[in-house]
Structure 1
Amino acid sequence: MTSPSDTAPQPRFRPRPWTHLETPQDVELWIDEHNRALQELVKPTETGVGILFTLAEGGDVYMQTTDDAVVLDVEPDAGWIAPLITAATGAEPPRGQVWVLPSDRLVQLILGLSTLVLSTTLVVGHPFGARARRGAY
């Protein structure tokens, strides 16, 4: 007899262990790598494309980038990270859980988050909020 877990489809994308990034150059290489992965693995018709950061101390942060913005969906269990996002990017916290940051803050954001990340996972179909748009790195 098969159990429901035996017949459940495998997740399309699996978590990847995080490697601490120490310099802006490290971050640029990481961005290039993930941009290539998104271009290769995500269909052009898919929306809600981004990266899920699972934080070592608990919580999830979803990130999507566009040409002019970085959209962060900070899950309630990761709300503790808001002061770090503010310190790294100079952005004021939003009223809700979706942050919209200027795209030129991406490197600073990733450097700020780097020591707190446990793993990353590519995502599709995530509802990044009404102001979010489909994007790539």
Structure 2
Amino acid sequence: MYKNIALLCVFVLLCACGPLPQYNKSGLWGKYPENFVDSDGFTLWMPSNMHARQGMYAYVVQRYIDECMNGDYIGGKYEPSGDVYKILKDGTKIYAYYYYYDEDTDVGVNALAFNLTPMQMNIGYDVVFNIYVDKDEKITRCKYMRIRN
């Protein structure tokens, strides 16, 4: 009886010490590489030590995305708030940060004839931003990627 309990304890100990699945620890949450490149050639820098900005409502983050894509940030002065950055060979700095938010999304069919209404699911997103800044701290480029949790 004691022998079986001892063998069970040894088995549990060996299982606990076994290898665990490993993620690429260099990038965002270990799920993405630090220097992300997709199949279309889009690149984004996602360091593991990048900071989250204040959790926001979906419409606020979407406004930041729109301003980034419309070029509204270009030429403005960047005011880093403890953001992580790296310096490229030409002196350009790339700042990286992300926002996280939840959004309620309608799922299903809205068909009154069949007494069907869509239900809502809460979906989490992270939006990673890269802000390129020249030597004069002026923004020259903005990139982002929305990641569904």
TM-score (normalizing by structure 2) = 0.24
Higher strand share: 2
* TM-score under structure 1 length normalisation: 0.25
Name the structure, 1 or 2, with higher relative contact order (CA <8 Å, separation 6+).
1
Higher helix share: 1
- Which has the greater radius of gyration? 2
